Amino acid sequence: MSMKIAFDLSFTHTEGKWASPGSWVGADYPDLGMFTELAMAAERGGVDMLFFGDGVGIPDTWQGSMEAAIEYGIQWPRQDMSPFIAAMAQATRHIGFGLTYSSTYMHPFYVARLLNSLDHVTGGRIAFNVVASGRVSDAANYGLDALPDHDGRYERMEEFVQVCRALWDSVEPDAIVRDRATGRFADPAKVHRVDHDGTYFSVAGPLPSVPSPQGHPVLVQAGASPRGIAASASFADVVFGMGGHLPSQVAHRAKLDAALTEAGRDPADVGILWAIQVLVAQSESEAKARKEQMAEMLPLDAVGAYLSYNSGFDFSTLPSTFALAEVAASIAAAQATQAGFVQRLIAQRGEGATMSREEFFDAGWRWATGYEQTIAGTAEQVADELEAQFEATGERGGFMICNPLSMPGSLDDVINLLMPELRRRGLVSSGYAGTTLRENLLAP
C-alpha cells in the first residue's frame, strides 16, 4: 500500500514561523498569491492534499488574557479558508484540499451545502475535517459560557455527520434530467426529504443542490480519546493522528482497529495520517542547524498561551512540583482536550510521573515550537524515519507534514528532495490515481 502525503498549511504563519529566515518573503498572510503558488508547487511534487485546520478564538486561557497570544501571534490570525481553497483549485487539477469546521458549533445543513458547493468548484477534491471543539475561547464566540460535555460533543458530531450524509444523499446521483425538449429538470421520485429529528438537530431537507462529483467529501476526524476514536470508527474515511512518539502511534492504530471492527468496518479501509514536522536539507548538519533556529522562536508567555489554549487549562497556575495525572484530571474535569500535550507526557514518562514547573515548560517549549516532533536530516534520513513509522503502524495512511520554518522554502525542500526519495523507494505513487480526492487519497 502506498504512503499518502498531505501538507498542513494551518500554522505556516503562527508561533513565530512568519518571522523565520526565508519565510513569507514578499508576501504577508493571508496573501492569496502565496497560497496559490504553494498549491501549484505541492501538486507538481505529487502531494495528495493540502490541509487547513481551524480555530475561531484568540487564545485567552493563559493568565485569563489574550495579551500574550496577540503579541506573539499564537494560533492567530485564522481566516475561513473556503474562499482560498476555491481559488487554489482553479490553479490545480489533482491535489485535494482539507477544510475544517466544528460540529460543536456549526449547523449540518449549512456545512453540507457549503461542502457540496466546494466539491463542485474543486472538481471533487474536498475533504471535511470534522472536529469536536475543545477550546473555551472558541466556545465564547458562539455564545457559550463553557465547553459542552466532552462525550456529548462526540455524540453531537456523530449526529452532525449523519445529517450531512443524509443531505448529500437526498438528491440521487441521476436525479437531474435536464431534458430540454420537455423542460423537465429533475425526477421528483429521486429527490427526498430527510426529516431528521434527533437529539441535537432537526432538519427537513432535501439539500437544494446538484449532487457533487464525489457525492460525499472525504471525511477526516482527529479524535484520540476513547470516545474520539469510537467516533472516528463510526464514519471517518481517514483519521488524523499525532506523530512523533511511535509507542503512542502504535497504540492509537491498535485502538482504532479494534473500534473499526466493533463498528463492523474493515480496518484496512481506514488509514491514519500522522502529523509530523520535517526539515530536509542537502546535508544532515544543515538540517540540524535549521532545527536549532526553532530554539529562538518563542518566549515563555507565548509557550504558555499555546499550551493553555490547546489543552483548555491555565498552566500559569501550576505549582512548583506536581503530578501529571492530577493536571490531566483537571483538564478532563473542564471537558477540555483529553489527548494533547499532558497526555503525551504521561505516555512518555508513565502514569505516576511528577514534574517541576521548569521541566514542564521546557518540554512545553519543545512541543509548542514543534522541536520535539521535528525530523531533521537529509532526504534519505527523513525517508528512513517515515518508512519505519509507516511500517510500524500498519502501512495504512501516511503523513500530514507541517514544516516549522521558512515557508515556502521548506515546502520546496520536501517537494524537491524528500518526495523524489519516497518515490524512488516505491513508498508513494509516481502520479495521481484519478481526478477526485477520494480516488487519490483513499486508493491502495
Mean pLDDT value across the chain: 93
pLDDT of residue 368: 85
| Grid-cell match 427526498, residue found | 192
138 — alpha (psi -120 to 50), left (phi > 0) or beta?
alpha
Share of the chain above pLDDT 70, in %: 99
pLDDT of residue 372: 79
Say what the pLDDT of residue 444 is: 83
Q: What is the pLDDT of residue 35?
A: 96
pLDDT digits (tens, 9 = 90+) for 217-240: 999 999 888 999 999 999 999 999
Neighbours of 65 (CB within 10 A): 15
Share of the chain above pLDDT 90, in %: 77
296 pLDDT above the threshold of 90: no
Q: Report the pLDDT value the prediction gives residue 365, as an integer from 0 to 100.
A: 87
Terminal alpha carbon distance of the chain: 5
Please determine, for residue 407, whether its predicted confidence score (pLDDT) is greater than 90.
no
d(CA 3, CA 422): 9
Position 332 scores a pLDDT of: 81
- Once rounded to an integer, what is the mean pLDDT over residues 363-367? 87
Could you tell me which residue, 225 or 89, shows the higher pLDDT?
89
Mean pLDDT along residues 261-284: 96
Residue 311's pLDDT is: 86
Are residues 17 and 407 in contact, defined by beta-carbon separation less than 8 angstroms? yes
pLDDT score of 326 more than 70: yes
Could you give phi then psi for residue 413, rounded to 5 degrees?
A: -65, -40
Residue 133 pLDDT class (50, 70, 90 cuts): confident
Give the residues across from 99 on adjacent strands. Answer: 52, 128
Closest CA to 127 of 51, 15, 232, 225: 51
DSSP secondary structure string, 296-321? GS--HHHHHHHHHHHHTS-GGG--SE
- Angle subtended by helix axes 246-262 and 379-392, to nearest 10: 40
pLDDT at 339: 61
In the prediction, which pLDDT does 384 show? 98
Task: Name the amino acid, one letter, at 217.
Answer: P
pLDDT at position 338 over 60: no
Confidence of residue 392 (pLDDT cuts 50, 70, 90): very high
Q: Cell 477544510 identifies what position?
A: 99
For residues 174-203, average pLDDT: 98
Q: At residue 304, does pLDDT exceed 90?
A: yes
Angle between helices 108-122 and 82-90 (to 10 degrees): 20
**In the 8-state DSSP scheme, what is residue 380?**
H
- Taking alpha carbons only, the member of 379, 381, 341, 380 closest to residue 361 is 341
Eight-state DSSP code of residue 93: S
Q: Is the Cβ–Cβ distance between 425 and 381 less than 8 Å?
A: no
